[in-house]
Amino acid sequence: MMINRSQISQNTPQITHTEMPWYVSSLMLLSGLISGFFLISIFSILLAGMLHSFGILISFAIAMTAISFWLFRYSDRITLHHIQIFISSLGFSIGMAGLVYWFLSINELLLTASQTAGILLLIQILLTLIMPNFIYRLISSLLGIGCLLFLLYQYHALEVSLGLLALFASICSLQSDELISYLPNKYQPYAKRLNHVLTYAITFALLTISAYFIVSEQTLYALYGFDDVNPFAQTLVKQGLLIVASLYASWLILRRYGISLLSHTGLLISTAVIIIGLLSLYVSGLLATCLVIVMAFANKQRVLLGLAIFALVSYIFWYYYQLDSSLLVKSGSMLIIGLALLLLRWYLLRRYVLHQYLPLHHTANTHLTTKKNKGKQQ
């Protein structure tokens, strides 16, 4: 029996590459950063003495951004995957060099630190909205979040950063589908791609700023001259806002399954969130990482789940080996946390899991007993 090749090509499903694997994206990110550094070095050597002008720097920034945008759009039309990756990497490296020239051009205006951060924040928002590349958008959104955190620091409001990032992460991870559904149908795919980038960027920033507070929580305000600020009061404000954002995320997850926050299950989860938040006063980063783990597990995001678990283990190690208190006190606190978690696990198994199998077990035993009685009667 002869088989026509045209029939095979028609019946064979076409493989489309909608998203690169994370390891390819990581290599592309590394190569883009290195290539961008070399591009900046080459232009700095060739045009030494001319790069101190705002006009020339802004021209380089606009030109490189435009070239990067065109390469990204052109790579989407290419069917060969390896050529598509090469052109995307080239566009990403040129785009990274363009980001540096954006910063250098704004720096030439000799503005204040707050004004510079505000202008860079607006530029990063615009680039995140326009550039059609996941990695470029991720880097640009991370830079924008960094500018926002710097502005909060400049206005002595850094303690609201954890709660703000947790709230944004909850909305992007758990409420984005509901908000995107209000948009017209033609804009929904674009909004979903943009939300995917923001979810990763905000989650990574949340874990990073948690680590920042862990490292510098005791000396942050004294180091920068804020001697009139009570660090413990700032910690209470920071953890209080984080607890409120975590309760909001819990309400969003419970709403998926039709469970009220005031029900028995909702009150139990809310109590657990508050307890973990109070424990985070001594073990910083505990509630933030637990929140990311729960959201990543609810959305089946394995990359964020692995990143959050790694961050949680790192935070616990840091808490155990820092020198602010004795190892005996730390061991006792970790023992109490472990016992509390085991007790909570036992209660959940007894209250929910076992009750699901007891009716089945009772039905099976009833069926066997009925069969035995019928056999005895016969």
Task: Name the band, by pLDDT with cuts 50, 70 and 90, for residue 232.
Answer: low
What pLDDT, on a 0 to 100 scale, did the predictor assign at position 141?
92
Q: 168 pLDDT exceeds 80?
A: yes
**Backbone CA torsion sign across 212, 217, 221, 222:** negative
Compute the mean pLDDT over every residue in the chain, rounded to the nearest whole number.
76
- CB 246 within 8 Å of CB 287: yes
pLDDT tens profile 31-59: 666 766 776 677 666 665 566 777 888 88
What pLDDT, on a 0 to 100 scale, did the predictor assign at position 376?
53
What's the whole-number mean pLDDT along residues 337-353?
Answer: 74
What's the whole-number mean pLDDT along residues 287-316?
Answer: 85
Query: Model's pTM, two decimal places?
Result: 0.75
Radius of gyration of the chain (CA): 27
- CB 129 within 8 Å of CB 193: no
Structure tokens at 92: 């990403």
- CB 162 within 8 Å of CB 242: yes
What pLDDT, on a 0 to 100 scale, did the predictor assign at position 230?
56
Q: Tell me the C-alpha to C-alpha distance, in Å, between residue 238 and each of 44, 213, 235, 242, 286.
A: 43, 10, 5, 6, 13
pLDDT tens profile 133-159: 888 899 899 999 999 989 988 888 878
Give residue 229's identity as a one-letter amino acid code: V
Intra-chain end-to-end CA distance of the chain, in Å: 63
Task: Name the band, by pLDDT with cuts 50, 70 and 90, for residue 268.
Answer: confident
Q: 313 pLDDT exceeds 60?
A: yes
Residue 264 makes CB contacts below 8 A (sequence gap 6+) with none
Fill in the DSSP letter of residue 77: T
* Nearest-angstrom CA–CA distance, 309 and 20: 23
pLDDT tens profile 186-227: 888 899 999 999 999 999 988 888 777 665 654 544 444 444
Helix (H) or strand (E) holding 256: helix 231-256
DSSP-based three-state secondary structure for 82? helix
DSSP-based three-state secondary structure for 258? coil
pLDDT tens profile 11-38: 444 434 445 565 666 666 666 667 667 7
Fill in the DSSP letter of residue 263: S
